[in-house]
Amino acid sequence: MELNAIDKQMTDRLKPLFEEVSRVAGYLWQKGWAERNAGNISVRITHMDFDDSYMLPFGESVLLPKKYPALAGEIFLISVTESRMRHLALNPEENLMVIKITDGGSEYQMFRSYKLNEKTAPTSEMPTHLLLHNAILERGSEEKTVLHAHVTPVIAFTHYPETQSEEALNRLLWAIHPELKTYLPEGAGYVPLLEPGSGTIAEATLQAFENRKIAVWEKHGVFSAGTTPEDAFDNMDILAKAAEIWFMVRGDQ
């Protein structure tokens, strides 16, 4: 089958998801939570049962920094490194890529589609995305999307010393916006300031996500898991609203 026919089949199959990811990317850009190349997304799409005839591998398999046994054979739609959310909102096909976790969870394979070339790679935050997806599958949860963005009010909130712990963050935000406890009853995890893209921050985020759907990176942003991209965004949005109310009550806005 010719490459353009493969691209068309995959695009047609993924069109509804592309449209939803596009909307979410637009929300993030409009809110100012995705400056430059900030923000990334991954969606597990294995359940869509892709036909092998249009899963054409591109390049060699890439060794992962660690093994993700629960992800063996899983397929993901994931944002491309250095992609912009404003570009993803306008053209998701050229700012997302499809990968499959192979070799028992120790490698990934890119698939030829759209404008992949020898420099194309998944987001640098892929280690955190994969760790979270691995944990989600291991615990049998329904979330298929992991979303990361620089949620401005939450970043500002974590600059205050009195907010810089998991217990303090949840106590303050639950008290200021009780509806938060309805939608995020487990609260948010908290990750102290660590190097982005590192294995260390990925492991810390995994711990913060235990039995939760959202985690805050101190002075950096938020990671959210949801059943869909919109659901993952909603978790971020309500957390941001609580932080905004906290500033308003303090008179800092």
* Residue 45 in tokens: 């799409």
Provide the pLDDT for residue 1: 46
The rounded distance, in Å, linking the Cα atoms of 51 and 44 is: 16
Name the residues annotated as catalytic: 125
Count of positions (residues) in the chain: 253
Query: What are the structural domains of the chain?
Result: 3-250 (3.40.225.10)
Encode pLDDT of 54-107 as tens digits: 667 777 899 998 999 999 999 999 999 999 999 999 999 889 989 999 989 999
Give the distance, in angstroms, between the CA of residue 134 and the centroid of all CA atoms in the same chain: 13
Provide the pLDDT for residue 214: 97
Give the distance, in angstroms, between the CA of residue 225 and the centroid of all CA atoms in the same chain: 7
**Helix (H/G/I), strand (E/B), else coil: 120:** coil
CA distances from 191 to 32, 131, 134, 241 (A): 22, 15, 19, 20
The rounded distance, in Å, linking the Cα atoms of 74 and 96 is: 16
Where the chain has pLDDT below 50, the residues are 1
Encode pLDDT of 225-244 as tens digits: 999 999 999 999 999 999 99
Q: Are strands 189-191 and 214-217 parallel, antiparallel or unpaired?
A: parallel
What stretches of 184-228 show up as alpha helix (H) in DSSP?
Answer: 199-208
Provide the pLDDT for residue 13: 80
